[in-house]
Structure 1
Amino acid sequence: MAQEGKLDLLLKTVEENKKRRVEAKERARVDFVGLKVVVEGRLPQVEKKVSDLGKVLGVLSTKVEQLESTVSRQARAELLPEDIREEHLDASPSLSTPLIRGSV
């Protein structure tokens, strides 16, 4: 008789736990549906901000390229003709070797 009571209590506990688990799943589902509604409601705003940032980034990139070009032109304009000639000579590979010049 005592074992039957324990078995009944165990079955009752299992049923209660199952019922709680089902209720918890339902609450979680309702919470997720609410979260989905909130996220989907904000999605157009986020997409617009991303689009706006892309446009601003394009404009900023163009400005940076213009500044780099201006700085490069100014740097070249400030070089003296001697500096330009030296840069040109330094940049071209030397055709002479120590043996051709006569040094060993």
Structure 2
Amino acid sequence: MLASCLDDVKKKAEEEATKLRADSTNLQRKLGAAQKDGEEVQRTAEEAQDDAENLASTTVTTKAHASLKEEHPCAAIALVKSRAEARQLGGSSNGTGVEMEQLNVEPTGMLLVMPSIE
């Protein structure tokens, strides 16, 4: 009788241990999925912040371009996105073309002001 009772207790303990291991495995899977989701949310937030910064920079560049065109209507003003594009317009900072005043507005562009020829 005592042996039978001990066997029942042992059997119930093993069943409970099996359930706890299964629960632990499920919780670990859920934790892994939550961490992955959290990483995705963080990546999305970083991308949104980059997009907002780029939009702000583009807005500043565009406003500066418009302002310079108003202040200096005779000057040739170009909104470019790279130094290579600026060189294609005929300007350079090494003396091989028309000298330009560069107003850097990173990361989306530069305003190049070429002296007017009057």
For Structure 1 versus Structure 2, the TM-score category normalised by the shorter chain is 0.3 to 0.5
- TM score, norm. by length of structure 1: 0.44
More strand by share: 2
More helix by share: 1
Task: Choose 1 or 2 for highest CA Rg.
Answer: 1
- TM score, norm. by length of structure 2: 0.40
Higher RCO (CA < 8 A, seq sep 6+): 2
